[in-house]
Amino acid sequence: MDEPNGTVIVIEDDAHISDLVAAYLRRDGFRVLQRPDGLAGVDSALAEPTRLVIVDVGLPGEIDGFEVCRRLRREGAVPIIMLTARDDEIDRVLGLELGADDYVTKPFSARELVARVHAILRRSEAAPVGTPTVLTLGDLEIDMGRREVRTPAGTIPLANREFDLLAFLVANKGLALSRQQLLNGVWATAGTATSGPSTSTCASCARSSAPRFPHHRVGRRLPARLRCAPASRSPSSQWWPPPCWSPPSAASFSSAERP
C-alpha cells in the first residue's frame, strides 16, 4: 500500500483508541507505528524517520506521556500531539511547556485529530506564503524555510509552537497584540474569544521561550497605562499613537521599566 505522507507513531496503551486513530491515519496515507508504552514509543521515534508523534499522557510503565515529550524534545523537533483523559488546565500548560504542539482531550473525534495532524505538519514543514525567508530582530535570525532560530552563539532549539509564536511576534514587532490576534496568527483559531487555547496556555508558551532571548525584548509586557489598544486593530496596520495615549514623563517610569 502506498504511504506517501510518511510515518506517524501512536503511543497509546488503550488498544481500541490506538487502532481507531491508526485506521484514520492510514486512510489518509500515513504509515502508522503503534506502541503501547513510552519506552517503546521513544525508541521507535528515535530510530525511524518520523513526521509526528501522538502520545497519551497517562501511559503505564516506567515513563508517562510527559516524560516521552521531554525526551523527544531533547533529541529534536518532531511535532507532538498529546492525548489525555483529564481536562485540567495545568496538564495542558505542562504539556505545551514541555514542547508539545497540540493537546487533545478524550473523548475526541478521530477525524478532527487527523485534521490537526495535517494542520501541524503544514505549519511545521512549510514557510508561510508571502512572508520573508528570514526574519531578523537585532542579531536574532528566524529562518522560516528551515524553521531555525539563530544567534551569533548558535542555533536555539524551539518547539514548533514556540517557533510559530516567536516568528509571529517578530513579524509584528512594535505592535501590542491581543489574545485573539495571537490565536489567529499562531494557533490559526478564528471566532470568539473563548475558542482555542486558554489565556494562561498562550502565556505559558510565551514564558517558556522568552528566557532564551534575554537581550531581544521579545514578548515584553506593556505597562498597564499603555495597554489601551483597540481590539479591532489588525496586526498589519500601522498606527500610533492610540487615542487614549499621551507621552508619559521619564519620572513616571519605575527603574525596571526604563529603557
In order of start, what are the domains of the chain with their CATH numbers?
Answer: 7-125 (3.40.50.2300), 134-233 (1.10.10.10)
Q: According to the model, what pLDDT value does residue 163 have? A: 83
Q: According to the model, what pLDDT value does residue 95 have? A: 76
For range 221-240, the mean pLDDT: 44
For range 171-196, the mean pLDDT: 64
Give pLDDT tens digits for 32-72. Answer: 999 999 999 999 999 989 999 999 998 988 999 999 999 99
Q: Is 241 or 97 the better-scoring residue by pLDDT?
A: 97
Angle (CA) 123-102-3 rounded to 5° is 60
Q: According to the model, what pLDDT value does residue 237 have? A: 41
**At 256, is the pLDDT very low, low, confident or very high (cuts 50, 70, 90)?**
very low
Strand order in the sheet with 140-143: 134-137, 140-143, 148-151, 154-156
Residues 6+ apart with CB under 8 A from 153: none
Q: First CA to last CA across the chain, in angstroms?
A: 61
Q: Is the pTM of this model over 0.75?
A: no
C-beta separation of 60 from 37 below 8 A: yes
Task: Check pLDDT > 50 for residue 88.
Answer: yes
Separation of alpha carbons 36 and 19, rounded Å: 11
For range 111-129, the mean pLDDT: 79
Q: According to the model, what pLDDT value does residue 44 have? A: 94
Residues 6+ apart with CB under 8 A from 105: 83, 84, 85, 86, 87
**At 157, is the pLDDT very low, low, confident or very high (cuts 50, 70, 90)?**
confident
